[in-house]
Amino acid sequence: MNKSILLATIFEKGSYPKTTVPEVTLCGRSNCGKSSFLNAILGIKGVAKVSSKPGKTASINFYNLSNKLVITDLPGYGYAKANWELREKWKILVEDYIFNREQLKLAIILADVRRGIEEEEIDLINLFMGRGIKVLIVLTKTDKLSHSALLRTKADTLAQISNLWQDMKHRVFFTSSLKKTGITEVKKALEGIVKTK
Ligand SMILES: Nc1nc2c(ncn2[C@@H]2O[C@H](COP(=O)(O)OP(=O)(O)O)[C@@H](O)[C@H]2O)c(=O)[nH]1
Ligand SMILES: [Mg+2]
């Protein structure tokens, strides 16, 4: 999984690239570390733009991985509570993609480990599951917590997730794109589910 290219960036629903390989989508709140995670998964820096400022466009990026798999980067959410127009655009695009993209096999939901899984993530996960799409949960930026705080947070998060969904516990990962920890585990789980080999 190393040759990758940006296949397309789409701004309008329905105008998705025609592909024949399984697709994995990444979604999470703006600034949760989605682009950094994607770069870490691809093993290449700078493929996905990392930014300290939340993005202001609602677009989906499609990355082609050696013609075996496509990874898409859904627009981040939660960036503009007051910006109704942008939120509507996000909803129209993302819901169309989730409901109509046949190739979509797996969703990776990312959240900053310090914030954890909140209402938006729960709604998204239920949306994917209702559509029969498998879900992995990735808690990012673990390097931001002390060892003991991370242990506590891990236990709390796993308990919360087990309460919400049965059999989800083994689909939860804790990563740091900075320290490159937990990335291989997610990659393995991803490849196991979409069988890229
Ligand atoms: N310490 C630390 N910072 C991270 C990590 N991942 C992302 N960041 C930082 O968080 C900010 C947002 O990252 P980005 O990948 O652009 O998030 P996105 O908006 O979800 O795509 C940037 O300043 C990154 O450098 C991580 O694993 N550890
Ligand atoms: Mg990003």
**Ligand 1 atom closest to residue 30's alpha carbon, by position in its atom list:** 19
- Of the listed ligands, the closest to the CA of 175 is 1
* Site to substitute for ligand 1 among 25, 26, 31, 176, most atoms within 8 A of C-beta: 31
Across 152-167, average pLDDT? 97
**pLDDT of 186 higher than 50:** yes
**So what's the pLDDT on residue 1?**
46
Using pLDDT thresholds of 50, 70 and 90, give the confidence band for residue 54.
low
Alpha helices for 101-182 (secondary structure H)? 119-130, 147-164
What is the tens place of the pLDDT at every residue in 66-86?
A: 889 999 999 888 766 657 787
- CA 108–ligand 2 middle distance (angstroms): 14
**So what's the pLDDT on residue 82?**
57
CATH superfamily name and code, 4-194: P-loop containing nucleotide triphosphate hydrolases (3.40.50.300)
Query: How far does Cα 122 stand from its chain's mean position?
Result: 13
Residues in the chain: 197
| Of 3-7, 128-132, 136-140, 177-181, the least confident | 3-7
**pLDDT of 45 higher than 80:** no
C-alpha closest to that of 95 among 140, 62, 40, 58:
58
**So what's the pLDDT on residue 100?**
96
Using pLDDT thresholds of 50, 70 and 90, give the confidence band for residue 52.
low
* Site to substitute for ligand 1 among 37, 38, 41, 50, most atoms within 8 A of C-beta: 50
**pLDDT of 197 higher than 60:** no
**So what's the pLDDT on residue 80?**
60
C-alpha closest to that of 62 among 77, 40, 47, 51:
47
User: Within the chain, what is the greatest distance between any pair of CA atoms?
Assistant: 47
**So what's the pLDDT on residue 187?**
95
- CA 51–ligand 1 middle distance (angstroms): 7
**pLDDT of 160 higher than 50:** yes
Q: Parse the chain into domains and list their residue ranges.
A: 4-194
**pLDDT of 56 higher than 90:** no
Measured from CB, residues less than 6 Å from any atom of ligand 1 are: 28, 30-36, 50-52, 76, 140-141, 143-144, 176-178
